[in-house]
């Protein structure tokens, strides 16, 4: 009987789970996994820093709507990826993190990269964390980890595997790899709840649908479009669900923050169908600015703990979003829906009025370039089908004003952790998951410094990602906070230098572009994408303006 290593068993199990790529950084503790990946032609996207490996696995999972896998070595390899684990946990991204560890026989010996209980560190920020103690358990527990990560509500898991367990050999018959590894089916809605929801939807005068990450993960795009068109109900989305209904669809109203434009008493929603929405940061908590306190709420979530947690629900449905939509459509049958053309037109006008308020900025003299000028040009110029990554405490708020995507998984940006500096990693993952799609990473000049060496990874991996640095020589969100909170004469340690990020990227082998005037930007974007190589466009923007979304957050 053939003998195999623990690393070989792990890779065989990942292959059964459908894993096609892994993100990581080599270390001796996990070399047997690297060797097995080599034997089975499983590509490892080897980053320059573990934090980027973790974020790349997140980007892969979010762009492809499937499991992402990151592996890191013991000690600092593990601690470097903790921010990514926390980010995935708060955003419910299905991730398998594999960490190496010192051998079981080296316990309490002060050996290299040991002395940390990595499972204990990970347990509060994962769905499940476990150390595998015997080689024969590797297939069984890897399969369990995959099921836990991909079952709703999805999220990250950690498997910590000692070096001697990974290196141990065993007869392959003594550690069989499961033939099938499937997540548990999401719950289905109760008929009574569907009937009551349908009644409220038909009775309401000003209903809206709010689509969240749960709707995206359920694959609800076609069902949502049909429900919206049949009922004539406008749809708002959070960032994770952006593109679930195409941005150019007449019933798409924008991201959640744009609901705040409906300020007049007669213009506000009276019913919200929240599909896979987690109320909180992106709905401004339980404030009245986005979801009126007078509105009835039907909250659909796979996690019962989310229903009523922040915003009280008139109807709570613990179920998969797509299943709920299909049940609503089936129960509605051919029955007439109310005429909501006036309501739909009012929401459309709200969007037009919002854009009209920003139009004067497009004609503003420059340099420096106004941020709204930059993001408007970007969205108008990037190729069709581009996956857009937004990173930076303030930069992505500008992008939110103009972003227009036609497919889900096409706009990857910050979640509940507000983890600045993950953009290059997310872009690596998105480019790996969808090599058929162009990828743009819009990133602030502060954020790009976190993992700037990943330009090297893009070059080595041949990923033609275009990175656009919004360079205002400042940690702008912090600068604006200080100006408002303590006064303009108390701004401290928020300014950055006049760095040329295009030249830094060029040093790693990317194409570099330096843009100081708005008329230079569109040609630079076109040339960068046409070049078919990694590129960095350094855009000098004005630090003074603040995004409209931030003004809304300040109202809260």
Domain limits of the chain? 3-174, 191-347, 364-555
Alpha-carbon 138 to chain mean position: 29
- Return d(Cα 374, Cα 362) in angstroms, integer: 9
Quote the pLDDT of residue 115: 82
Quote the pLDDT of residue 182: 87
Indicate the Cα dihedral angle 285, 291, 296, 297, nearest 10°: -50
**Contact of 372 with 359, CB cutoff 8 Å:** no
Question: Active-site residues: which are they?
Answer: 29, 50, 113, 418
- Return d(Cα 89, Cα 61) in angstroms, integer: 13
Average pLDDT over residues 221-245: 96
Q: Dump pLDDT digits (tens) for 446-460.
A: 999 999 999 999 999
- For the chain, report the end-to-end CA distance as a whole number of angstroms: 66
Q: How confident is the model at residue 334 (pLDDT cuts 50, 70, 90)?
A: low
Q: What is the DSSP letter of 262?
A: -
SS3 454: helix
Q: Of the spans 12-26, 265-279, 361-375, which averages the highest pLDDT?
A: 12-26
Instruction: Tell me the fold of 364-555.
Output: Rossmann fold (3.40.50)
Q: Dump pLDDT digits (tens) for 196-221.
A: 999 999 999 999 999 999 999 999 99
Quote the pLDDT of residue 477: 84
- Return d(Cα 221, Cα 407) in angstroms, integer: 8
Res. 8: pLDDT tops 70: yes
Per-state percent for the chain, helix, strand, coil, to nearest 5: 45, 15, 40
Quote the pLDDT of residue 403: 94
SS3 19: coil
Q: Of the spans 123-132, 176-185, 329-338, which averages the highest pLDDT?
A: 123-132
Q: What is the DSSP letter of 190?
A: P
- 489 or 156: which carries more pLDDT confidence? 156
Nearest to 508 by CA among 465, 543, 475: 465
Task: Record the pTM.
Answer: 0.95
Quote the pLDDT of residue 475: 86
Percentage of the residues of the chain whose pLDDT score is greater than 90: 81
Burial (Cβ within 10 Å: 0-12, 13-18, ≥19) of residue 158:
buried
Architecture in CATH of 3-174: 3-Layer(aba) Sandwich (3.40)
Residues 6+ apart with CB under 8 A from 551: none
Same fold, 191-347 and 364-555: yes
Q: How confident is the model at residue 229 (pLDDT cuts 50, 70, 90)?
A: very high
Average pLDDT over residues 262-289: 89
Instruction: Tell me the fold of 191-347.
Output: Rossmann fold (3.40.50)
Q: Dump pLDDT digits (tens) for 74-126.
A: 999 999 999 999 999 999 999 999 999 988 877 777 787 788 999 999 999 99
Q: Dump pLDDT digits (tens) for 138-177.
A: 999 999 999 999 999 999 999 999 999 999 999 999 999 9
Q: What is the DSSP letter of 394?
A: T
């Amino acid at each position: 009987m053939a003998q195999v290593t623990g690393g070989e068993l792990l890779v065989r199990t990942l292959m059964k789970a459908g894993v096609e790529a892994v993100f990581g950084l080599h270390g001796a503790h996990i070399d047997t996994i690297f060797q097995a990946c080599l034997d089975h032609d499983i590509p490892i996207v080897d980053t320059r820093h573990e934090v980027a490996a973790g974020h790349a696995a997140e980007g892969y999972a979010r762009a492809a709507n499937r499991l992402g896998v990151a592996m890191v070595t013991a000690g600092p390899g593990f601690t470097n990826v903790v921010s990514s684990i926390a980010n995935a946990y708060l955003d419910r991204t299905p991730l398998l993190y594999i960490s190496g560890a010192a051998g079981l026989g080296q316990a309490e010996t002060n050996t290299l990269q040991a002395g940390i209980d990595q499972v204990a560190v990970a347990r509060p920020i994962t769905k499940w964390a476990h150390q595998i103690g015997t080689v024969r358990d590797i297939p069984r527990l890897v399969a369990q980890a995959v099921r836990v990560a991909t079952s709703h509500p999805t999220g990250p898991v950690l498997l910590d595997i000692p070096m001697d367990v990974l290196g141990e050999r065993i007869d392959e018959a003594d550690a069989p790899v499961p033939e099938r590894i499937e997540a548990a089916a999401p719950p289905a809605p109760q008929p009574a709840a569907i009937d009551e929801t349908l009644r409220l939807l038909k009775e309401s005068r000003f209903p809206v649908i709010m689509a969240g990450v749960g709707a995206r993960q359920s694959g609800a795009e076609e069902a949502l479009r049909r429900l919206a068109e049949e009922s004539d109900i406008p749809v708002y989305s959070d960032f994770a669900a952006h593109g679930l209904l195409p941005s150019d669809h007449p019933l798409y109203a924008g991201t959640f923050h744009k609901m705040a434009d409906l300020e007049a008493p007669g213009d506000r929603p009276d019913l919200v169908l929240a599909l896979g929405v987690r109320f909180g940061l992106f709905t401004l908590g339980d404030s009245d600015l986005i979801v009126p306190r007078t509105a009835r709420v039907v909250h659909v979530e796979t996690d019962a703990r989310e229903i009523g947690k922040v915003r009280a629900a008139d109807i709570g449905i613990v179920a998969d979003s797509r299943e709920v939509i299909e049940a609503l459509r089936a129960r509605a049958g051919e029955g007439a829906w109310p005429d909501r053309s006036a309501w739909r037109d009012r929401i459309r006008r709200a969007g037009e009025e919002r854009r009209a308020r920003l139009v004067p900025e497009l004609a503003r003299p420059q340099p420096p370039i106004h941020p709204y000028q930059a993001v408007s040009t970007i969205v108008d110029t990037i190729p069709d089908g581009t996956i857009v990554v937004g990173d930076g405490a303030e930069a992505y708020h500008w992008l939110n004003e103009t972003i227009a995507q036609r497919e889900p998984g096409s706009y990857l940006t910050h979640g509940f952790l507000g983890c600045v500096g993950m953009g290059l990693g997310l872009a690596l993952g998105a480019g790996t998951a969808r090599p058929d799609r162009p990828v743009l990473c819009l990133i602030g000049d502060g954020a790009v410094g976190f993992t700037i060496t990943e330009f090297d990874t893009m070059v080595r991996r041949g990923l033609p990602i275009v990175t656009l640095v919004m360079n205002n020589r400042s940690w702008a969100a912090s600068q604006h906070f200080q100006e408002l909170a303590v006064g303009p004469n108390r701004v401290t340690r928020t300014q950055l230098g006049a760095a040329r990020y295009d030249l830094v990227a060029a040093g790693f082998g990317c194409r570099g572009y330096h843009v100081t005037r708005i008329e230079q930007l569109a040609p630079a974007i076109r040339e960068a994408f046409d070049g078919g190589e990694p590129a960095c466009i350094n855009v000098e923007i004005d630090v003074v303006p603040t995004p409209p979304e931030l003004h809304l957050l300040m109202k809260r």
